[in-house]
Structure 1
Amino acid sequence: MEDYKREFIDFMVESNVLKFGEFTLKSGRKSPFFMNAGAYVTGYQLKKLGEFYARAIHDNFGDDFDVLFGPAYKGIPLSVVTAVAFHDLYGKEVKYCSDRKEAKDHGADKGNLLGYQLADGDRVVMVEDVTTSGKSIDETYPIITGQADIEVVGLMVSLNRMEVGREGVKAAIDEVSDRYGFPTASIVNMREVTEHLYNREVAGRVVIDDELKAAIDAYYETYGAKA
């Protein structure tokens, strides 16, 4: 595992973004872990988050793209901080773009998009916090492809939960790739998270002990993606 992935796992725990215990998800599943990207709230955290996204995008998709698109609402700051980090780390100028939940009907920037207005020929990387069902992509993909003749280079999320999506076989992030025909990737996945944190201290405490590891294993016996 690359060093920046280990650093990112520790960063999620230290930022209180990745939590372990017992959580009821929107789907009704009882999960032994939960990720809330809304807990990144400080300037330092947002700067570091953008850098992790930029590194993962560079590793997986290269730098031959023009726009970072983040679905509203959490994708808005993600696209901004990643665009800044990509410039700082790789000297590449990329634009940010997000959708509006409600189209603006006045002013010079009226329409469905916030930030850069997409144009024919743009190559776009989409950024999200985590994909659990692909619903946000289903909502925003028609919007951005309807604005201009663009190409989606790929989708980057911070954490791949590696549990079955709506079709009940593959992970949600892989279902998105199959459905729309562009590659998907994550900074880290839950297998890497578990391997890195098992019986290891972060911020003075063991994050995943034997009991929690057993709970995670049992969860994936039921909900783990088969492909």
Structure 2
Amino acid sequence: MPSIDHGAAGPGQDTLAQDFVAFAVASGVLRFGEFRTKAGRLSPYFFNAGLFDDGAKLGRLAEFYARRLLASGLGIDMLFGPAYKGIPLAAAVAVELARQGRNLPFAYNRKEAKDHGEGGTLVGAPLRGRVLILDDVISAGTSVRESIALIRAAGATPCGVGIALDRQEKATDASGAEQAWSATQFVQRELGLPVVPVATLADLLGYLDRQADPGLAGHAPAVHAYRARYGV
């Protein structure tokens, strides 16, 4: 199943994605340098969505998600945020969608079942209809698989995954062996869900390639080299 097209613009030319990359850089969420990834790779950039850590930044992030989701054409009945990073995302995006005229219920899960009060692992609206999973990135697809199981167990239908950034790089298996596909492609092809990213690595490269600021433009060669080595 293909990913959702960003629109008529080619890679790195999507206005919404370019605005998002600029926002992430200005917020210190997207940084450049040398960073060790979970796969053991030395990456020339690092995206930490946990640094959208105040009301203004979270609200702006939600606006980007909402605009992308509304433009995607996906039929969505409600939002689901997997613990932990997906919880504030689901709440914030639900608020922003309502502000833009699309009021959707949302739910999230706990890591551990609650044995008092209402009990269980799910919090929020009952899981019904077509449910969109919200997360920051897809690293190994584990969170998505767990979310799919929870949604289906409740009798609802997972309809897609919304993320902030698609790194567009080769995944690794449990042994660390490099795969020919990315984690996003795994979700699309093996789990059968479309993935809606606000921006991709191609968009990040487009942003760097057009920079007049030599400090930012200087990172472009390293990011291009990283994509040539690990990209899909």
TM-score, normalising length: structure 2: 0.87
Residue 73 of structure 1 aligns to a residue whose secondary structure is coil
Q: Which runs of 5+ in 2 are unaligned?
A: 1-12, 174-178
Where does 1:53-72 land on structure 2 (aligned, <5 Å)?
A: 53-62=65-74, 64-72=75-83
Provide closer, same or farther for how the CA distance between residues 153 and 10 of structure 1 changes in structure 2, counting only shifts above 3 A.
same
The answer as to whether partners of 1:9 and 1:193 remain within 8 angstroms in 2 is: yes
- How far apart are the structure 2 equivalents of 1:156 and 1:170? 19
Residue of structure 1 aligned with 2:200, choices 178, 189, 195: 189
CA RMSD of aligned residues (A): 1.6
Residue of structure 2 aligned with 1:218, choices 218, 225, 231: 225
- How far apart are the structure 1 equivalents of 2:56 and 2:97? 16
Identity of aligned residues (%): 36
2:123 counterpart of 1:114: yes
- How far apart are the structure 2 equivalents of 1:93 and 1:221? 42
The answer as to whether partners of 2:205 and 2:224 remain within 8 angstroms in 1 is: no
Residue of structure 2 aligned with 1:137, choices 139, 144, 157: 144
The answer as to whether partners of 2:110 and 2:122 remain within 8 angstroms in 1 is: yes
Partner of 2:163: 157
Deviation at 1:185, TM superposition (A): 1.9
Deviation at 1:216, TM superposition (A): 1.4
Residue 118 of structure 1 aligns to a residue whose secondary structure is coil
Where does 1:194-205 land on structure 2 (aligned, <5 Å)?
A: 194-198=205-209, 200=211
Q: Which runs of 5+ in 1 are unaligned?
A: none
After superposition, give the CA deviation of every residue in 1:175-219 in whole Å (9 maximum; x if it has no partner). Answer: 111122121121110111111123515xx773231xx22211221
The number of residues matched between the two structures is 215
- How far apart are the structure 2 equivalents of 1:154 and 1:59? 14
Residue 206 of structure 1 aligns to a residue whose secondary structure is helix
Provide closer, same or farther for how the CA distance between residues 72 and 208 of structure 1 changes in structure 2, counting only shifts above 3 A.
farther
- How far apart are the structure 2 equivalents of 1:23 and 1:114? 35
